Structure 1
Amino acid sequence: MAEKVILLNMLAGMFGTRARVALAAKGMQYEYREEDLRNKSPLLLQSNPIHKKILVLIHNDPYQRAQARFWADYINKKLYGPGRKIWTKSGEELEAAKKEFVEILKQLQSELGDKAFFGGERFGFLDVGLVTYSTWFHTYEKCGGFSIEEHCPKLIAWVKRCLEIDFVSGSLADPAKVYDFALVLRKVFGIDTS
């Protein structure tokens, strides 16, 4: 039995129309839902929570994998820059970086919700994509003068669950050593460490 496919688009949406042509070429049955971009549906906002744009193609299992890839890409593109600024900048640039970093973590915490891991009850793809950043959290907090746990307690609880898994904790760098490494780099780059 085929799984239900839903296409969210608008009449003049070229990219969604491209998907309609491709689905028709494959002979696939799907449900088309017209979106009013001035009054976006809850399904659109849930399916594309960051960009809140169309085209959205929903197809159960592939959808779950696509969501994980989307969030992994989000982490890769969004988290590194502000994180790096936290330990390399000062003043207004530091404050802006902290604010951006915390907002990104809050978005990720929202995606995690009340689940044990991003994929549910088991450590998975998206967990791998984010857990490596946790080794830098201590550095960000020390250099930025803030607490990630204060802003994102569920995310820190997730980090602790991840670290209970032997292959995760055995693969990650010691956060204290990461901090020492960052301090050496700050000195090399001539960043004021006072």
Structure 2
Amino acid sequence: MAEEVKLYGTWVSPFSRRIELALKLKGVPFEYMEEDLSNKSPELLKYNPVHKKIPVLVHNGKPIAESLVILEYIDETWKNNPILPQDPYQRAMVRFWAKFIDEKILATGWKANFGEGKEREVAIEEFAEQMKFLENELNGKDFFEGETIGFLDIVANLIAFWFPVRQDALGIEAFTQEKFPVLFKWIANITKIDLVNECRPPREKHLAFVKARIEGLQSAPK
């Protein structure tokens, strides 16, 4: 029986793009369903009634939500080209840093970009400190897990491609090669991988989208 794999996502979301990349690295055929988040499909609401968000992976009719959970499911279901380390301690460390990116760095980066006054100053300092922690984890390696792309590289893709676009749209320089040379060397390494480049938004389209969103936020009533 042929497996049915569907991915519900949006073209600009780093979270659905990371699932797309994992599936492609594994060579898993899938059907991609583009969602309009301002008019969510009945299927999305049915498959993810708790959060009503993308991404959702539907495997043979069974839905899995939340990108980090989906990534682990993919690795456990399709054993070829493993993306998580085999060693239990290393797996735990990868999970730790993945949560650090999604729960700490993303939130701090948002405040550094869109906060005001003292809150923004504090957030910029915290952002630099958090990114240095990440650099220390990466230092001396081509990829986070060694010589090949893995789970944490997939998660950190948003730092490589989404952060610079947001920064360009805002006209700020918080994330630069001078400040974070190790991360920028890593970005150069993953940009050499064709599948990685396939699974990120077209830059000009992405930049236009972010600029429009920023204008909407800035013009919204305070």
**Short-chain TM bin:** 0.5 to 0.7
d(CA) in 1 for partners of 2:185, 2:204: 19
Letter in 2 for 1:72: A
Residue 184 of structure 1 corresponds to 212
The question of whether the paired residues in 1 share the 8 Å contact of 2:166 and 2:210 is answered with no
Instruction: Name which of 132, 150, 160 aligns with 1:134.
Output: 160
The question of whether the paired residues in 2 share the 8 Å contact of 1:136 and 1:175 is answered with no
Higher relative contact order (CA 8 A, sep 6+): 2
Tell me: CA distance 1:186–1:140, structure 2 relative to 1, closer, same or farther (3 Å). Answer: closer
Q: Extract unaligned runs of 5+ from structure 2.
A: 1-85
Letter in 2 for 1:67: M
**What's the offset of the Cα at 1:191?**
5.3
Tell me: CA distance 1:101–1:168, structure 2 relative to 1, closer, same or farther (3 Å). Answer: same
**What's the offset of the Cα at 1:136?**
2.2
Residue 152 of structure 1 corresponds to 180
Number of matched pairs: 133
TM-score, with structure 1 as normaliser: 0.61
Which is further off, 68-77 or 85-94?
85-94
Residue 73 of structure 1 corresponds to 99
Identity percentage over the alignment? Answer: 34
Q: Extract unaligned runs of 5+ from structure 1.
A: 1-59
**What's the offset of the Cα at 1:170?**
0.9
**What's the offset of the Cα at 1:159?**
0.9
Query: Aligned pair 1:93/2:113, yes or no?
Result: no
Residue 10 of structure 1 corresponds to none
The 5-angstrom pairing of residues 1-194 of structure 1 reads 61-142=87-168, 143=170, 144-190=172-218
**What's the offset of the Cα at 1:119?**
0.5
The question of whether the paired residues in 1 share the 8 Å contact of 2:94 and 2:151 is answered with yes
d(CA) in 2 for partners of 1:135, 1:176: 12
CA RMSD of aligned residues (A): 2.2
Any idea what SS the aligned residue of 2:94 has? helix
Letter in 2 for 1:159: I
Tell me: CA distance 1:102–1:140, structure 2 relative to 1, closer, same or farther (3 Å). Answer: farther
**What's the offset of the Cα at 1:147?**
4.1
